[in-house]
Chain A
Amino acid sequence: MLEIRGLRASAGGNEILRGIDLTVNAGEVHAIMGPNGSGKSTLAQVLAGHPAYEVTGGRVSYLGQDLLEMEPEERAQAGVFLAFQYPVEIPGVSNAYFLRAACNEIRKARGLEELDPMDFLDVLEEKLKVVEWGPEIMSRAVNSGFSGGEKKRNEILQMAVLEPRLAVLDETDSGLDIDALRIVAGGVNRLRRPDNATIVVTHYQRLLNYIVPDYVHVLSGGRIVRSGGKELALELEARGYDWVEAPAGVA
């Protein structure tokens, strides 16, 4: 589904990603861990097409298409979804309006009919259950004045509505209380299908008890320095990053 080869990217003149190789197949869950500043969010943002990052090398193929050639909205329409580490506040645009607009853009791209506000409400009612939320949140402006945890939960709600093929969750677990973590992880698991894939960026092995990964990768200094199964996360939890930081032992 996703094939990243030799990906390099920089921002503000600094090279942040220094040659990433990663293959994600349909049905898989990959976890990406790594120290602060190692480039995890940059990788996620580059996949989503953030214009602040300049891709200086390598290629990314997604479902047979050249992802890097696509506009951010085209990527989303093709099924790429990024849950932001820092979800953005959009004052003046209601959550309901925003979600319906996004949902309809993606439906259009998939050749489906657009939903009118009434039909959308029905869809929404189902999706709100995924994050165990009432409808009140929908009339509020997107993320405006939301608590940190509410913003993360709102990302998962968006993901539930947009039904991506490839979801990249950037530290969606950070700042969540135990209940919210369970809800968010439960949401991700409910949305898993054999034909979609998930990349979770996290600092905590805890999340991986809920969302069990097929592969764990360690990103350090803009490279994947180690890959392994879910046991790798436990080992990292116990030993820290020091022992993997040299790129020697790439699996």
Chain B
Amino acid sequence: MTATWVRRFDATATPDEPEWLRPVRRAAIDRFAGTGFPAPRDEEWRFTPVAAITQAEFEPARPGSRVSRDAIAPFVFGHAEWPLLVFIDGRFDASLSMVPALPGGARAGSLAEAITAGDATLARHLGHHAPVESSGFTALNTAFIQDGAFVHVPAGVELAMPVHLVFVSSGETEGTVAQPRNLIVIEAAARASVVESYVTLAPGRRYFTNAVTEVVSGEGAWTEHTRIQRESDSAYHIGLTHVEQAAGSHYRSFTLAMGGAIARHNLHVRLNAPRIETLLYGLYLTRGDQLVDNHTAIHHDHPDCNSWEVYKGVMAGESRAVFNGKVLVRPEAQKTDAKQTNRNLLLSDGARVHTKPQLEIFADDVKCTHGATVGRLDDVALFYLRSRGIDAATARVLLTYAFAAEVVEEVALEPVRLELERLVRERLGAGD
């Protein structure tokens, strides 16, 4: 409800809010007050019935939920030395987090603390990249910027270990909203891997997560960004990841979406200079009456850039999936090499997918391809496995897992890849 949010905004003024942040938030709430949430007729949101979110009243989650280390343990993976930032209902929890001293002045910590500390990098970037025009949800998140993760890797610094950001919904009360806001700045020739996990302690709870992450990738930087969305099956999740890439940088993303009653992720990447490489991989697994929507947009504004995108989906039950992949190639972006693939596997008669590649190409010397497929398990392969003694149910799981695992293989960091494989196996009911 738009009016409620505008009223809430007026209550958020604090005397110690830095001068640069107030106008950013003010512009966002003005935008939100003017346009509100996306309407059903909005083409960008056509298949995503956000009315369930926008017509409901969600109370901002109260800070201070007591969550034990044991409760978080199932969501933590990799090595104990990995920097781990835990957020409970959108607020940083220092006692559950583990942030070792990082090399070369690199930092990973609470956004709220960095705001209070008057961090200059933060002031330069926060709210300056993800446009509030992109949707009412982004505007709302920006208007209520408060906490989240701030990761900063200075020029030339390599982080050997990934930074894991775990956003936990405590589910202490029904009907709450958390709006984490994250900023990841990987400066020139730096190298880092960041994992965002969205998880819940209350699998049946209805709540709302509205997350925005801005990523700034400097010249020649290498970034691997993994997003694991495993919210409650009754939750709503709206997320925007907005990426800005400088010359010669390499950004690779992997998105696993398997939670939420309605879950939407927008991934927007701007290629702001020549010789950029962008790799977007995604996997969505839906069941029951879930709806998972992935919208990606790759903006090729300069020459000699490559983008490679593969999203795959497995839909069961009565679930719905949406994939929309925009690739925009401006006239000056000659020698663009862009390839997009979306492959979908329907496991039931009731499952549906809407897939829409959207290539808008205004340069003539480019190589741009796309392909979208929707299919079922291959009967011939199924029979082949059964003819070797593997029962039908196991054979189905094996083929389904093989379909899904192919895209997970693209994750560069092995421990992250192994965890993703474990999650996918667990979800699909595949054994070792």
Stretch at the interface among A29-37, A88-96, A182-190: A88-96
> Provided the pairs A91-B402, A92-B405 are in contact, do residues A73 and B389 lie with their beta carbons within 8 angstroms?
yes
- The reply to whether A162 and B389 contact each other, CB–CB distance below 8 Å, is yes
Quote the shortest CB–CB distance from A155 to chain B (angstroms).
Answer: 10
Stretch at the interface among A45-53, A195-203, A238-246: A45-53
Give A221 to B381 CA distance when docked, in angstroms: 28
- The reply to whether A73 and B391 contact each other, CB–CB distance below 8 Å, is yes
Give A91 to B402 CA distance when docked, in angstroms: 7
Residue-wise interface mask of B (377-409) relative to A, using a CB-CB cutoff of 8 A (1 in contact, 0 not): 001110111111111101100110111011000
Give A93 to B404 CA distance when docked, in angstroms: 11
Residue-wise interface mask of A (74-88) relative to B, using a CB-CB cutoff of 8 A (1 in contact, 0 not): 011100011010011
| A222 close to B (CB within 8 Å) | no
- The reply to whether A102 and B383 contact each other, CB–CB distance below 8 Å, is no
- The reply to whether A76 and B388 contact each other, CB–CB distance below 8 Å, is yes
- Across-interface contacts of B402 in A (CB, < 8 A): 90-93, 141
- Across-interface contacts of B391 in A (CB, < 8 A): 71, 73, 105
- Across-interface contacts of A82 in B (CB, < 8 A): 387
| A234 close to B (CB within 8 Å) | no
> Provided the pairs A90-B402, A93-B402 are in contact, do residues A102 and B384 lie with their beta carbons within 8 angstroms?
no
Within 8 Å by CB of A71, from B379, B386, B398, lies B386
- The reply to whether B388 and A98 contact each other, CB–CB distance below 8 Å, is yes
- The reply to whether B389 and A93 contact each other, CB–CB distance below 8 Å, is no
- Across-interface contacts of B380 in A (CB, < 8 A): 88
| A72 close to B (CB within 8 Å) | yes
- Across-interface contacts of A121 in B (CB, < 8 A): none
Residue-wise interface mask of B (398-427) relative to A, using a CB-CB cutoff of 8 A (1 in contact, 0 not): 110111011000000000000000000000
Quote the shortest CB–CB distance from B222 to chain A (angstroms).
Answer: 27
- Across-interface contacts of B390 in A (CB, < 8 A): 73, 101-102, 105
| A158 close to B (CB within 8 Å) | yes
| A11 close to B (CB within 8 Å) | no
- The reply to whether A50 and B394 contact each other, CB–CB distance below 8 Å, is no
- The reply to whether B389 and A92 contact each other, CB–CB distance below 8 Å, is no
| A106 close to B (CB within 8 Å) | yes
Within 8 Å by CB of B381, from A51, A52, A88, A101, lies A88
- The reply to whether A90 and B381 contact each other, CB–CB distance below 8 Å, is yes
**28 residue pairs A–B, Cβ–Cβ below 8 Å:** A49-B386, A50-B383, A51-B379, A52-B379, A71-B386, A73-B386, A73-B390, A73-B391, A73-B392, A76-B387, A77-B389, A84-B387, A87-B384, A88-B380, A90-B381, A90-B399, A90-B402, A91-B402, A91-B406, A92-B399, A92-B405, A93-B398, A93-B399, A98-B385, A98-B388, A102-B388, A105-B391, A109-B389
A89-B381, A91-B402, A105-B394 given; name 8 further pairs at CB < 8 Å. Answer: A50-B383, A71-B392, A73-B391, A88-B383, A90-B399, A102-B385, A141-B402, A162-B389
Chain A positions near chain B (C-beta within 8 angstroms): 48-52, 71-73, 75-77, 81-82, 84, 87-93, 98, 101-102, 105-106, 109, 141, 158, 162
Chain B positions near chain A (C-beta within 8 angstroms): 379-381, 383-392, 394-395, 398-399, 401-403, 405-406
